[in-house]
């Protein structure tokens, strides 16, 4: 019994929803706490706090609105990403179907989006990346339409959506460069209308630049701090360019199957349909050019940006390529076998089944339980003269020194002032970096010595926390303190240190 294609698509969407709501109420992790901190105190703080985290304010308007309607909880903060990620399933279905004229290829792409770990994780995360995937897909498809059937309305939409993408995440400018290469390649030669195309493209690019100019100040500030990314983005190798995304599942396997079918055409007729070089060139411009530019920026240390989440705007090109390969097969029965094989390999090697085998869960975990850590600290607060030392692992912590601004200090303390605030009785709150913990300022040291209790909250491994804890206690000599309690949570270590009254008498 064959189901109508809309029923199959609906089932795929149900699967996507089921995977994305799995444990959606788990604790926010550090980056999500920044989103919570941006929106928690009202709209007036939104732009300023977003800029502190190297973002424009556009995306944060959505979680702010969601929190206003549904209240301050994890689901409300993550709802815009959840909706965008689920909407990506029918969007990729429609895109591939119009692109390839194949229902099987479209359903294959939709299924891969539904179960893909990147898509699932970002659909559960209160960050911009799921929304980027959706809008980038719409923009890329608009670019393709603009290439063959241009109109004034499509040009205006391309410019506005392009500016929206850029203000959502500045590195989407690399994807826009790829699209410009594709559109510019169509203006070459002496074909009819090529001069008009070039003139229109120059006008569209000018309008796009004008719309992104307001972000110039933020970009200049980010460029001045670009060395901070070296703390967590390694200089990429040549091999890392081929492993940043699961190319072996979405590119190598489909391409190999198509090549095998083309070779088999010599002996078995009607295995494959036509090859479409323009579609492959478009995918290269959408995916390969942005990744190549990011790799060059990183390997030359101009800016370390070669990190998977920063290129989510180009990620859907993988599904488009897989769908294109599927549509190259001549018969629908071949396409179904192709789709079944790719889905099976994806599920077992990269998707939920493989994750269940390796980690015992269908969906990856955030790995940081800030909610439990703050609850533990709040249960033990209330004593007079209590201080907190926070090491959150933010890249901005490297700038903490005696000359650090109050804005930087306040920013580095956002994990305990967001959705899981620290009790007000803890009045002294001090952010620490790994490079400054062993040389506490005199004022900080005096403040700690006057405290009856000291809390320490560390993001990282237990071994790293032990080293930092030893440095802190040694810096407080000759006043003696002892570790009263400690707890090891997911990705966090919380410690309560108390003054040793016996040794003081």
Which pLDDT score is estimated for 174? Answer: 95
Q: What is the pLDDT averaged over residues 324-352?
A: 88
Same domain, 161 and 26: yes
Same domain, 392 and 426: yes
User: Longest Cα pair distance anywhere in the chain, in angstroms?
Assistant: 95
Same domain, 353 and 405: no
- Among 359, 384, 399, which residue terminates a domain? 359
Q: What is the pLDDT of residues 360-376, one digit of tens each?
A: 777 777 788 999 999 99
Identify the H or E element spanning 18: helix 5-21
Same domain, 332 and 387: no
Looking at per-residue pLDDT, the higher value among 234 and 193 belongs to 234
Same domain, 329 and 449: no
Q: Tell me the pTM.
A: 0.92
Give the dihedral of Cα atoms 174, 175, 181, 187; nearest 10 deg. -130
Residue 461 included in any domain: yes
Token readout for 315 is 């990620």
Same domain, 351 and 448: no
Which pLDDT score is estimated for 504? Answer: 44
Residue 365 included in any domain: no
Q: What is the pLDDT of residues 75-90, one digit of tens each?
A: 999 999 999 999 999 9
Task: Answer yes or no: are the C-beta atoms of 134 and 315 closer than 8 Å.
Answer: no
Buried b (16+ CB within 10 A) or exposed e, 401-438: eeebeeebeebbbbbbbbbbebbeebebbbbbbbebbe
Q: What is the CB neighbour count within 10 angstroms for residue 184? A: 15
Structural domain including 374 reads: 370-504
Residue 410 included in any domain: yes
Same domain, 398 and 308: no
Q: Number of structural domains, the chain?
A: 2
Mean pLDDT of the chain: 87
Q: Give strand pairing partners of 456.
A: 389, 495
Give CA angle at 68 (139, 392), nearest 5°: 80
Q: What is the pLDDT of residues 148-158, one digit of tens each?
A: 888 999 999 99
Give percent of the chain above pLDDT 70: 92
Give CA angle at 119 (116, 121), nearest 5°: 105
Task: Answer yes or no: are the C-beta atoms of 384 and 4 closer than 8 Å.
Answer: no
pLDDT-derived band at 403, boundaries 50, 70, 90: confident
Residue 343 included in any domain: yes
- Residue 176: burial class (beta carbons within 10 Å; 0-12, 13-18, 19+): buried
- Among 338, 359, 380, which residue terminates a domain? 359
Residue appearing with tokens 């006057």: 450
Q: What is the pLDDT of residues 50-59, one digit of tens each?
A: 988 889 999 9
């Amino acid at each position: 019994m064959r189901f109508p294609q809309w029923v199959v698509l609906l089932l795929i969407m149900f699967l996507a929803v089921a995977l994305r709501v799995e444990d959606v109420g788990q604790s926010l992790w550090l980056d999500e706490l920044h989103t919570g901190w941006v929106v928690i105190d009202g709209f007036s703080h939104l732009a300023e706090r977003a800029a502190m985290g190297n973002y424009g304010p556009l995306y944060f308007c959505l979680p702010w609105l969601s929190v206003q309607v549904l209240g301050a909880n994890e689901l409300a903060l993550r709802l815009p990403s959840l909706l965008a990620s689920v909407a990506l399933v029918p969007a990729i279905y429609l895109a591939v179907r119009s692109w390839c004229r194949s229902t099987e290829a479209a359903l294959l792409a939709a299924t891969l989006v539904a179960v893909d770990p990147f898509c699932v994780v970002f659909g559960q995360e209160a960050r911009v990346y799921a929304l980027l995937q959706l809008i980038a897909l719409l923009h890329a498809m608009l670019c393709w339409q603009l290439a063959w059937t241009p109109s004034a309305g499509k040009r205006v939409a391309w410019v506005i959506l392009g500016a929206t993408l850029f203000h959502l995440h500045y590195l989407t400018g690399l994807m826009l460069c790829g699209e410009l290469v594709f559109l510019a390649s169509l203006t070459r030669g002496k074909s009819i209308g090529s001069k008009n195309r070039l003139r229109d493209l120059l006008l569209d690019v000018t309008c796009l630049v004008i719309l992104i100019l307001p972000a110039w100040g933020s970009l200049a500030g980010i460029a001045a701090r670009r060395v901070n990314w070296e703390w967590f983005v390694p200089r990429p190798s040549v091999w890392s360019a081929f492993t940043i995304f699961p190319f072996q599942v979405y590119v190598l396997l489909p391409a190999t199957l198509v090549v095998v079918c083309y070779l088999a055409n010599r002996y078995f007729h009607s295995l494959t349909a036509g090859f479409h070089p323009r579609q492959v060139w478009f995918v290269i411009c959408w995916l390969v050019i942005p990744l190549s530019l990011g790799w060059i920026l990183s390997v030359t240390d101009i800016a370390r940006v070669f990190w998977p989440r920063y290129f989510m705007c180009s990620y859907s090109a993988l599904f488009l390529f897989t769908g294109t390969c599927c549509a190259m097969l001549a018969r629908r029965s071949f396409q179904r076998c192709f789709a079944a094989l790719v889905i099976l390999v994806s599920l077992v090697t990269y998707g939920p089944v493989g994750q269940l085998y390796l980690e015992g869960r269908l969906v990856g975990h955030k790995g940081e339980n800030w909610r439990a850590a703050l609850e533990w600290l709040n249960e033990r607060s209330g004593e007079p003269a209590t201080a907190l030392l926070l090491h959150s692992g933010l890249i901005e912590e490297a700038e903490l020194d005696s000359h650090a601004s109050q804005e930087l200090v306040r920013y580095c303390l956002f994990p305990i002032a967001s959705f899981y605030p620290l009790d007000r009785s803890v009045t002294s709150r001090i952010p620490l970096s790994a490079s400054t913990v062993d040389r506490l300022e005199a004022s900080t040291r005096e403040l700690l010595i006057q405290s009856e209790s000291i809390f320490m909250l560390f993001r990282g491994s237990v071994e790293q926390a032990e080293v930092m804890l030893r440095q802190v206690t040694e810096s407080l000599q000759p006043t003696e303190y002892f570790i009263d309690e400690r707890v090891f949570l997911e990705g966090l270590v919380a410690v309560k240190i108390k003054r040793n009254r016996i040794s003081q008498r």
